[in-house]
Amino acid sequence: MQTLQDPSSESLFGTDQFFSDFAGDHSWEPGWLADHRSEAWEKFIKHKNSGFKDENWRFSPKHLFNLDNTLRLSSSKDLVQLSALKSNKALFQNLDKMILDSPDILSNITEHVGPNLGAIQTYHLTTALADNGFYLSTPKGAEISEPFIVEHRTPEHERITFERNIIHLAPFSSAMVIEFINSDDTTSQGSVSSTLNITLEEGAKLVRVLVQNANTSSTLHQFENFSLGKNSSLRNVTIHTGSSQCRSETKGDMTDKGAFFENFSLFLGSGNQLFDQRTRQVHSASDCTSNLLSKNALNDQSKSIFSGLIKVEEVASNTNAYQTNRNLLLCSEAEADSLPGLEILANEVKCSHGATTSKIEEQELFYLLSRGIPQRSAEKLISLGFLEEVIEKVNNQDLIEKIRAMIETKFYS
Amino acid sequence: MIQSTEFDIDTEKGNFRFDTDYAFDAGVGLNADVVRYISNVKEEKEWILDFRLKALETFLKKPLPTHWATEDLKNINFDVIRYYLAKGQKPSRSWDDVPDDVKNTFERLGIPEQERKFLAGVEAQFDSEAAYSNMKEGLEKEGVIFVSPTEGLRDHPEIFKKWFGKVIPTSDNKFSALNSAVFSGGSFIYIPPGVKLKQPLQAYFRINAENFGQFERTLIIADEGSEVTYMEGCTAPKFETSTLHSAVVELVALKGSKVQYITVQNWSNNVYNLVTKRAMAEEEAEVRWIDCNIGSRLTMKYPGVILRGRKARGEVLSIALSNSGQHQDTGAKMVHAADETTSNIIAKSISIGTGRSSYRGLVRMPKHLKNCKNNTECDALLINSESQTDTYPAITVQGEGNSVQHEATVSKVSADQIFYMQQRGLSEGEAMSLCVNGFVNDLIREFPMEYSVELKRLIDMEMEGSVG
């Protein structure tokens, strides 16, 4: 990584020369990891020019997510910071430290796959180049109430960082993870491309919250793939107010009976912000329940894309699956694209989806105006109420206050 | 409720076929010579031949849309299809002129003589040429033009040339290009300003030759303030090799007019039914597609309305029923292109056995528009555990005061309901039929009476043997 700091370096991003330089820098890593990286690199090369007319990219200005040849890897070492470990029950560590100190624990990450919802190329690139991120695992039966806090920062101007994040909960353990994505300044065009693999074993319970407030020059790629075991439950809440463009792919696979998957997200857009969200709820076993709510409030020329699919496999009888997308257009230039999808192969199912897009209800506005509240405040109040449905899913009062404050600040700016 | 047992249902419907002598046969496969042959037989003007040849080029250039559509499209062998067959006869004007063997076919199809007389005007298509066409004198008096595409483009170019291929351009998709290259048959209709037709115009389409695709072309122009309802119903003989049906239907609803287009599609289940249907609605015009798909192996059909004038309204009501071996890939497109336009889509699908129903929708409201509204409802019913259903809507909204709502549900017939009815003496099959008819009932009511009766019978027939 260090040698790439030289701007005169001829090894352009995405070339084979670049990767062999990178591999040279990482020669101290265990052999299996080197093999894993080069396999991923080969897949990246293979997919480089494929999938041009892909449904998974419908409505997306794909060029905004292209990784430019002029990009360079970030040289910062501390872009991922973890809260101090208060419980000695869990293993909570930075990925680079793990590779250095106890790489063997990581050896099963070679089996991890991505959500595979379109940006395959970037996913493989991330797998090949990641040397940042966090690792969390809990022992069997551990109930940890103190949240694990991870702070991600976007890198320097025109730099990119690749992260791999791993959460593994052993049977009947429970935990909460809170992640933040922030920036040091308001103008640096930094990029973060990260993967998150969550594995929940039987009866495990996880609440994961992401609060994304990166500066409005940054680009984010997020690949989240969740595997839910028997009777496990996962609540995933993501709050997006920042970044210039964010591509977020989330897949929750209910692999065994009785799994419960909730996925809630909100995006508050302004300026030219783009939030490109692709989700999949996969029911691969019977008696599972999934629920998704995606809410987007859009100002100025901001744009949101919601593309979600509920997939119910043939074996998944007694399925309950719900999906809701609500978009609030606060400005006539804003755009909301919605692609809610269902693929149902079993017949013992209760399944529905709904998508609505509209502006603020005249009646609601009139009610507030007639009580002397000025138009702008009234609009803000209604929008906050609209987003509140997602915010209140965060079961941590301090964090809820923090999120509300963040959203209000964004409205005033 | 309709008791299925009271009707004598011919389950071998569609099994009829008579040997027919073809005076014109373009042979098998598709190339520029075939297109020239068709154009020559029809004695078309130079510009139509050019139009066809250009379309052929487009067709050959365009790939199959398998990046989003089913791979089953790859099973179509374009080289073994006959693109043109016709009896060497002019469209008949009176019933007496119709050859006996053709009459015989209609007899077997069960269209009663009385009903025929009752119909406002019947454009019965036997293979690709109009074999029988009877137009009520009244229609002519009112200035209504109801002709085949060949006649329309030859005798009334001043009316039809302007809109021909304008609502659906040749290059819209691979199959609209194919149709543009080899079209024959179909109806060209013009309704003069202010004329309100009380009775629906009807067309029966028939396919009656092995491996013979039918490529009809329909263009309906409703002038200012006029009203028209057009119905098409399809049955086709059962053949052993796949048959291709690829139609193009264009509707033009000028200011303040109302157009309703009703389709009951019941091709035999070896037919690929790949149809492009689109309407253009001017100011305060209303277009309504009522679409019912029961037959075919694969249907891909997404009737659309381009709402081009202020306060225009578009509506699609769709019923799809897919039994084992069938894939009904249907839906609707609503493109809002003027202020205060409204659209409504209601789609219901039923999957039986290993059947698969898909809904694909498109709703678009660009940013310069104000106060547009769309409502979409898709409901799917799954009968057996191997049945499949998919929903793929695509919604884009910008602009001021626009609102869109989309809702979809998937369910199965509940065991409670079946049990309740069985307690009251109905067999399981009858109970299931009743539930399914109840599920689509509010949509079927929108159909004209004779169609809704026929539809309920068809649904009962399809349900036979699906339970137990």
Evaluate if residue B205 carries a pLDDT over 80: no
State residue B119's pLDDT score.
32
B68 → chain A, closest CA residue: A55
State residue B104's pLDDT score.
54
Q: Could you tell me the two tokens for B294?
A: 């029961």
pLDDT band at B6 (very low <50, low <70, confident <90, very high): very low
DSSP secondary structure of B160-212: HTTTTTTSS-GGGSHHHHHHHHH-----EEEE-TT-B-SS-EEEEEE--STTB
Angle between helices A362-369 and A375-391 (to 10 degrees): 120
CA distance A317 to chain B (A): 9
Contact flag B396-A333 (C-beta cutoff 8 Å): no
Within a domain: residue A395? no
DSSP secondary structure of B272-317: EEEEEEEEEE-TT-EEEEEEEE---SEEEE--EEEE-STT-EEEEE
3-state secondary structure A62-98: HHHHCCCCCCEECCCCCCEEECCCCCCCCEEEEHHHH
Evaluate if residue B391 carries a pLDDT over 80: yes
| Percent of chain B residues past pLDDT 70, beyond the cut | 77
Within a domain: residue A372? no
CB of B398 within 8 Å of a chain A CB? The answer is yes
Evaluate if residue A55 carries a pLDDT over 90: no
Within a domain: residue A227? yes
Within a domain: residue A403? no
- Number of domains, chain A: 1
Evaluate if residue B393 carries a pLDDT over 90: yes
CA-atom Rg of chain B in angstroms? 22
- Taking the C-alpha atoms of residue A212 and residue A219, their distance in angstroms, rounded to an integer, is 12
DSSP secondary structure of B128-169: TEEEEEEE-HHHHHTT-EEE-HHHHHHH-HHHHTTTTTTSS-
State residue B63's pLDDT score.
92
Over residues A251-305, the pLDDT tens digits come to 999 999 999 999 999 999 999 999 999 999 999 999 999 999 999 999 999 999 9
Phi, psi of A119 (to 5 degrees): -85, 60
- Taking the C-alpha atoms of residue B345 and residue B374, their distance in angstroms, rounded to an integer, is 8
pTM: 0.85
To probe the interface with B, which of A272, A357, A360 has the most B CB atoms within 10 Å? Answer: A357
State residue B330's pLDDT score.
96
Chain A residues whose C-beta sits inside 8 Å of any chain B C-beta: 53-55, 58-59, 314, 317, 327, 329, 332-359
Q: Which of B382, B404, B410 sits opposite A357 (nearest CB)?
A: B404
To probe the interface with A, which of B390, B395, B403 has the most A CB atoms within 10 Å? Answer: B395
Within 8 A by CB and 6+ apart from A240, the residues are A212, A246, A248, A265, A266, A267, A268, A275
Phi, psi of B254 (to 5 degrees): -80, 175
CA distances from A253 to A137, A167, A289 (A): 19, 15, 11
Within a domain: residue A401? no
CA distances from B65 to A399, B350, B359, B364 (A): 48, 25, 16, 21
Angle between helices B428-444 and B415-423 (to 10 degrees): 110
**Contact by Cβ (8 Å): A188, A156:** yes
Evaluate if residue A119 carries a pLDDT over 50: yes
Domain range list for chain B = 21-415
For A149-153, A240-244, B65-69, which range has the lowest pLDDT when averaged over its residues? B65-69
Within a domain: residue A331? yes
Residue B222 or residue A158, greater confidence: B222
pLDDT band at A196 (very low <50, low <70, confident <90, very high): very high
3-state SS class at A15: coil
Contact flag B394-A337 (C-beta cutoff 8 Å): yes
**Contact by Cβ (8 Å): A321, A312:** yes
For A77-86, A290-299, B444-453, which range has the lowest pLDDT when averaged over its residues? B444-453
Domain that residue A54 falls in: 2-359
pLDDT band at B14 (very low <50, low <70, confident <90, very high): very low
**Contact by Cβ (8 Å): A214, A182:** yes
Q: Could you tell me the two tokens for B237?
A: 């003989």
Q: Which of B396, B398, B407 sits opposite A333 (nearest CB)?
A: B398
ipTM value: 0.82
Over residues A262-275, the pLDDT tens digits come to 999 999 999 999 99
Contact list, B407 vs chain A (CB under 8 Å): 352-355
Of the segments A75-89, B173-187, B273-287, B453-467, which one has the largest average pLDDT value? B273-287
